Chains A and B, each alone.
Chain A
Amino acid sequence: MRVSGKIPVTVLSGFLGSGKTSLLGRALRQGALRNTAVIVNEFGKIGLDHHLLSRVEERTVLLGGGCVCCSTREDLVAAFLELLRRASQDGRPDRVVIETTGLADPSPIWFTVLRHPVLQHHFDVERIVVTVDAVNGLLHLDRHAESVKQAAVADLIVLTKTDIASEASVRRLESRLRAINPAAAMMRTRPDDPDAPDLFPADRPLHAPSRALSEPSAPDRPSPHDGGTRSLSVRFDRPLDWNAFGLWLSMLLHARGVDILRVKGHLDLGGDGPVLLNGVQHIIHPPEHLEGWPNGERCSKIVFIMKGIEPQQVMDSLTAFQHVLGAAPERLADAEFAV
């Protein structure tokens, strides 16, 4: 359990047939998920037995603005409230895993947990894990916008079926995924992997990418098939003013929130440690304060993953706001984005 006392929620997403259920089944069998409540949208072939809390039919309610990311998944609200009711009788679970359908957009789940008047006090989205099929992943990214969106919002991308894909094609896929989402941690897995992939680390700070992106990657090279998905990694030379940054980002999200698929990073606000920033489209997770600096490096680094917005537009805006923000932005190559 974390300091906040809230039950961590892991969202497990991935395109159709990308191995979500196999991965979850393996993690459950290997005991990595003791005392975990599992919510699934559809029954897979792998039995989840007694671990299965409930199966829900996806039921999304669009709210006022009609923006898809700010919609409540009523099915999940009902499942979570039922879970709370049971927790008061049988004890609370250590975590919740939601396995989505292959075509699901993870952002309404993020919105539902962080904004529901009851759920926000009991649950917290810890990370979004997305499985990508090493054999068909490139094809899915080319043909299905859902697949690109899932990769763009991921905290951790797990490449599955790497045993039946060639090393060259896996590398191509990794490079493509890094261009879409330079902030996500990436790992490979195969069906005969003896260890369940490390999906649920307990010793890492919330939302921080699990490792530095040390391998050089294609710098922000958009693929014609990625639906205009671009990323921008920015560093600031001096501590930022939180009030000013909040003003700028709230303005950006108001105007372009639908197109800011993910914003993530750590901010140097002049304190003893960084403040973690983590958002999916319009919704920003309540910022959290960390005790120490990652890698001992004191600075602010932010990555924006956007659709239909050129990185230079954001750089121009940050530069124009630099007197208010208190620091000048410097654009980084994606490989330099290491939190």
Chain B
Amino acid sequence: MCVLCSGFLVQEHWSDVRTHPVRDREVTVGGPESRDRRRDRWMRMKMANAILQVYGLKLDDWNGSKYILRDVKGSTEIVQDWGELWPAVEKLARRPVDPLNPDFLARLKAAGGHN
């Protein structure tokens, strides 16, 4: 249960599983681990935005617990994890996403592919 938005989470998305054994704890209280987690989220967002710019979208953090996906006209979608991200991208961009699509890959390369 998320205490900020009372969202009920049944499943942790596989991409949110922490892959470092030392940090693999159920509860993060504060201190350096909390800083690591925030840095991790910031890095994830930065990478996601490098890809989302191809669709004219931008992802922002919301209180360190969720993400907000926006288009240039101000429409927003709340996203919990990468499992929810891509359906939300398709909704706002009004087209299917496909990382194998040659046009998308060409635009990603043209956009720099990274920040």
Contact = CB atoms under 8 A, between A and B. Distances in A.
Interface of A: 115, 117, 120, 241-244, 246-252, 254-256, 269, 271-272, 275, 284-287, 289, 309, 313-314, 316-317, 320-324
- Secondary structure dominating the interface of B: helix
B113 A324 contact: yes
A250 B82 contact: yes
B87 interface: yes
A243 B41 CA distance: 9
Contacts of A289: 19-21, 24
Nearest to A314: B100
Interface string B23-41: 0100000000000000010
B44 interface: yes
Nearest to B40: A243
Given A242-B19, A256-B98, A271-B19, A250 B86 contact: yes
B14 A254 contact: no
Nearest to A244: B47
Name which of A117, A242, A314, A320 has the most chain B CB atoms within 10 A of its CB: A320
Chain A CB count within 10 A is highest, among B14, B51, B87, B99, for B99
Q: Which of B10, B12, B43, B82 gathers the greatest number of chain A CB atoms within 10 Å?
A: B82
Contacts of A244: 47
B109 interface: yes
A287 B19 contact: yes
A240 to B, nearest CB: 10
Contact of A247 (B19, B21, B44): B44
B100 A317 contact: yes
19 contacts: A241-B47, A242-B15, A242-B19, A246-B15, A247-B48, A248-B99, A250-B15, A250-B83, A250-B86, A252-B100, A284-B14, A289-B20, A313-B100, A316-B105, A320-B105, A322-B113, A324-B47, A324-B113, A324-B114
Given A252-B99, A284-B14, A321 B108 contact: yes
A293 B37 CA distance: 26
Interface residues of B, number: 35
A103 to B, nearest CB: 29
B102 interface: yes
B86 A243 contact: no
Identify the 9 closest CB pairs spanning chains A and B, nearest first: A246-B15, A254-B86, A250-B82, A323-B114, A284-B14, A255-B98, A320-B105, A323-B113, A313-B100
A269 B19 contact: yes
A271 B109 CA distance: 29
A320 B47 contact: no
Contacts of B12: 286
Interface centre among A120, A248, A254, A309 (most CB of B within 10 A): A254
Contacts of B24: 289
A246 B100 contact: no
B105 A254 contact: no
B47 A247 contact: yes
